[in-house]
């Protein structure tokens, strides 16, 4: 799958703090955001399925 570039707005202090810890572990901001977005999508899909089963 091809990647798309997007601009995001981050609090500079939060970004710097993230980089401080993530850099030590070799984690890039874009990689971390992609993982968190996938986790969010999976959670939302599970919630939708649970709602459909209850209906």
Domain limits of the chain? 28-55
Ramachandran region of residue 38, left (φ > 0), alpha (ψ -120 to 50) or beta?
A: alpha
Q: How far is CA 7 from the centre of its chain?
A: 14
pTM over cut 0.85: no
Model pLDDT for residues 3-43, shown as the tens digit of each residue:
889 999 999 999 999 999 999 999 999 999 999 999 999 99
């Amino acid at each position: 799958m091809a990647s798309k570039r997007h601009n995001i707005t981050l609090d500079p202090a939060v970004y710097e703090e993230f980089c401080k810890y993530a850099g030590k572990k070799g984690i890039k901001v874009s990689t971390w955001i992609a993982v968190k977005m996938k986790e969010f999508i999976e959670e939302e899909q599970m919630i939708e399925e649970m709602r459909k089963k209850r209906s």
